[in-house]
Amino acid sequence: MQNIQNRFVAIILARGGSKGIKLKNLIKINGKPLIYWTIKHCLNSKKISSVWVSSDNDKILNYSQKAGAQLIKRPKVFSKDTASSESAWLHAIKYLEEKKIYIQNIVGLQPTSPIRKKNDLDNAIKLFVKYKYDSLFTVQKIHAYFTWSKVKTKVVADYSYKFRKRRQETPAKFLENGSFYIFRKDKFLKHKNRLFGKLGIYEMSKIHSFEIDDFDDIKIISSLKRYF
């Protein structure tokens, strides 16, 4: 029988390699390593029972342990640029179950999104439970209407620019921002994908959807200290 205390377990994926920034997860953001912020958000949650960091890098693992997370040493095969997040989560689940840690739901987080509101994780989990979702993902509401495509050397409008609408009149869309995902473990093992079944979204603002991919992002996010 599953332990009620393990209903929601956080698994943070933080590999050492990165195409853009070497050891990006340890780069200082607002005076702390990038991964610190995601670990802190999980530890402050009232609904997450335990927090695990999956990494192939000893420096990241050592820091994560000092910050209060438990560790999963990820094999190199699941840490390559071509390896999916799903493969790392599957490895983490297998590792936990071998340690007799049985869980119902995964909260999968990426440290590259360091800005979240205090109660984002708990509020998203409440939605997940209330509406009996199978998987949930975070989004930013956008009005992406005035877009163009390029066909060889020619640019083509994806909208009627002769009858330009006001931005407020354009249909809202939701951009997956990658901050975190919540999904049922059993169905994840079946689908091998983070999104499946009855899907839910948790909306975040533009600032709280900010993601770090390169050095320009670091400069920008460093100016947003008051939002941490």
For the question of residue 194 being annotated catalytic, the response is no
Catalytic residue among 74, 116, 164, 194: 164
**What is the rounded end-to-end Cα distance, in angstroms, of the chain?**
39
So which residues are the catalytic ones?
164
